[in-house]
Amino acid sequence: MTYDSTSSRIAIIGAGPAGLMAAEVLSEAGLTVDLYDAMPSPGRKFLLAGIGGMNITHSEALEPFLDRYGADGRAALEASIRRFDPVALREWIHGLGIETFVGSSGKVFPREMKAAPLLRAWLARLKAGGVSLHVRHRWLGWDEAGRLRFATPDGEVTAEPRATLLALGGGSWAKLGSDGAWQSLLAARGIGVEALKPANCGFDTGWSTFFAEKFAGAPLKTVVASVRDAEGNVLTRAGECVVTATGIEGNLVYAFARHLREGIARDGKATFTLDLLPNHSPERVRQEVSAPRGAKSLSSFLQSKLNLGGVKLGLLREILDKDAMNDPVQLAAAIKALPIAVNATRPLDEAISSAGGVRFAAMNADYMLNALPGVFCAGEMLDWEAPTGGYLLTACFATGRAAAQGMIKYINT
C-alpha cells in the first residue's frame, strides 16, 4: 500500500520531542502531517526523561546557556536556539496548561515534575490540529523509486511525501525506540554521519572485586571533581556521583563525560580528580591527618578527625597503597585530589544521550540534507552534545522547530 501523496503531505519520522515539535509547526502552517514512529506509542524517551524529574530547560542567561553546547555545538545550534530560546520554550509549555518552576540549581521543571501530563496535552493538541500519527511504522529507508519504506504489523507500506523530516533520536536506551539504525541508511546515501558515541555516560574503572562488591551503589556526596581538557585548562565542578560495580556514574561524571571520552579515545585512559572534602582547606586536612593517632586505627582516626569514612575511605584504600595511606602528606593530598582513572565509557545503550550523528556540514542552514533535497533532520540525531540540565531537550525542540520552518520554506519555493 502507498499512502496518499498529495503535494502538501509531509512525513515526519520519529515522534520524540523534535518530531512532535516539527509536527506542530507544520500543521499550524496548514500542511498535512503524517507522523510515523516504530514504537506502539509516541515520546517514550521523553516520558522516561520525566521519571526522575523532567528537567526541560535551564534558567541561566542565554550566553552561558549557549556555551554548554561547546564551541562547535554552539556554532551549529545558536541560530535555532535563539529563535526558540529557553524563555520561549517555557511560554510554549505554559500554553499547554503546564506550569513550570525553577529549581535551586537554575534548572527548569514542569510543576508536576513529570512528562506525561505535558505529552498528553501536546498529543491532544496535535490531533486536533490534524496530525495523523502512525505508530508501529518502522522506517526502513527508501525504495528504488525514492518512496519511504515502513515495516508495519500489516506488512511493508510506502509513502511518497512532498518533504520528509527524520527525527530519529540518538542511540541510547534502544528499547525506547531510538536505536541508531538510521546511521547505516544515511551513510549508504553518502550522508556524512559521525558515529554515535555515549554522552552523559558512566565510565569503567576496573575496581577490585572487594571494593566493587562492598561499595557498588554508594553515593559520593558533595565532592568536587576536576578534569583537564584537551587544551590543558582545568575544569572544576561540585556535585554527586555514584560508585557502580564497574566504575562510576552520576551527574558530576556526566558533566565531564565528553573530556573523559575524548581522553580515552586519544590515550586509552583518562583521569579526573575528586576532592573528597571540599569544605576543608588542604592545610586543615594536612593538619588533621598529621596529628598523633595514638592507638586508634586509621579508619577511626579519619572518622573522628575529618568525619571521613564509608565509601570515601574505601576509595582512598582502593587507590592508595598501604605506604601512601600511612603517610600524612600523601594521604592529605589524596583526600583533596584523589585521581580516578577511567578506561572505557559504559555502552551507548546505557547513556543518557548520544554524541555524534548527522554532520552539520551535510545539511544546509535549514537542516535539509545537501545530498537529499526535501529530506530534513532534527533532534538528538544531529552531531552535537550537551550536558544534562535541560540543554538536550531544549536543542531537540529548537532544531525540530527550525527544521519545520525550513520545510515550509522549501515547499513554498
Judged by CB under 6 A, the number of residues near ligand FAD is: 38
We find the least distance from the C-beta atom of residue 403 to ligand FAD, in angstroms, to be 11
For the beta carbon of residue 221, count every other beta carbon within 10 angstroms: 12
Rounded Cα gap, residues 311 and 227, in angstroms: 21
- Among 344, 387, 349, smallest CA distance to 203 is for 344
Instruction: Check residue 152 and report its DSSP letter.
Output: E
User: By C-beta, is 182 or 207 nearer to ligand FAD?
Assistant: 182
For the beta carbon of residue 177, count every other beta carbon within 10 angstroms: 21
Which residues fall within 8 angstroms of residue 190, CB to CB, at 6 or more apart? 371
Provide the mask over 7-26, with x wherever binding to ligand FAD is found by CB under 6 A and - wherever it is not.
------xxxxxxx-------
For the beta carbon of residue 338, count every other beta carbon within 10 angstroms: 19
Per CB under 6 A, contacts with ligand FAD among 170-189 are 172-173, 177-178, 181-182
Per CB under 6 A, contacts with ligand FAD among 124-163 are 138-139
- Among 352, 295, 378, smallest CA distance to 84 is for 378
User: By C-beta, is 178 or 244 nearer to ligand FAD?
Assistant: 178
Among 169, 171, 247, 387, binds ligand FAD (CB under 6 A): 169
Task: Give me Rg for the CA atoms of the chain.
Answer: 24
Per CB under 6 A, contacts with ligand FAD among 393-412 are 393, 396
The b/e string for 16-28 (b: 16+ C-beta within 10 A; e otherwise) is: bbbbbbbbbbbbe
The one segment of 93-101, 119-127, 167-175, 339-347 that binds ligand FAD by CB under 6 A: 167-175
The one segment of 37-45, 79-87, 95-103, 299-307 that binds ligand FAD by CB under 6 A: 37-45
We find the least distance from the C-beta atom of residue 50 to ligand FAD, in angstroms, to be 7
- CA 258 to each of CA 72, 98, 175, 197, 270: distance values in angstroms, whole numbers, following the listed order: 13, 33, 24, 10, 11
Provide the mask over 366-395, with x wherever binding to ligand FAD is found by CB under 6 A and - wherever it is not.
-------------xx-------x-x-xx--
User: By C-beta, is 140 or 337 nearer to ligand FAD?
Assistant: 140
User: By C-beta, is 182 or 211 nearer to ligand FAD?
Assistant: 182
For the beta carbon of residue 77, count every other beta carbon within 10 angstroms: 23
The one segment of 34-42, 65-73, 78-86, 91-99 that binds ligand FAD by CB under 6 A: 34-42
Binding status of residue 100 toward ligand FAD by CB under 6 A: no
Among 352, 355, 362, 407, binds ligand FAD (CB under 6 A): 352
We find the least distance from the C-beta atom of residue 15 to ligand FAD, in angstroms, to be 5
- Among 411, 413, 409, 412, smallest CA distance to 365 is for 409
131 three-class SS: coil
Burial tier of 279 (Cβ tally within 10 Å: 0-12, 13-18, 19+): exposed
User: By C-beta, is 143 or 213 nearer to ligand FAD?
Assistant: 143
We find the least distance from the C-beta atom of residue 168 to ligand FAD, in angstroms, to be 4
Provide the mask over 44-63, with x wherever binding to ligand FAD is found by CB under 6 A and - wherever it is not.
xxx-xx----xx--------
Binding status of residue 37 toward ligand FAD by CB under 6 A: yes
We find the least distance from the C-beta atom of residue 275 to ligand FAD, in angstroms, to be 26
Binding status of residue 39 toward ligand FAD by CB under 6 A: yes
User: By C-beta, is 19 or 247 nearer to ligand FAD?
Assistant: 19
Beta strand 270-275 pairing with 338-342: antiparallel
Handedness of CA 319, 325, 328, 329 (dihedral sign): negative
Under a CB-based contact definition with an 8 Å cutoff, are residues 114 and 50 in contact? yes
Burial tier of 162 (Cβ tally within 10 Å: 0-12, 13-18, 19+): middle
We find the least distance from the C-beta atom of residue 40 to ligand FAD, in angstroms, to be 10
Rounded Cα gap, residues 238 and 175, in angstroms: 32
Per CB under 6 A, contacts with ligand FAD among 182-221 are 182
Q: Which residues bind ligand FAD (CB under 6 A)?
A: 13-19, 36-39, 44-46, 48-49, 54-55, 138-139, 167-169, 172-173, 177-178, 181-182, 352-353, 379-380, 388, 390, 392-393, 396
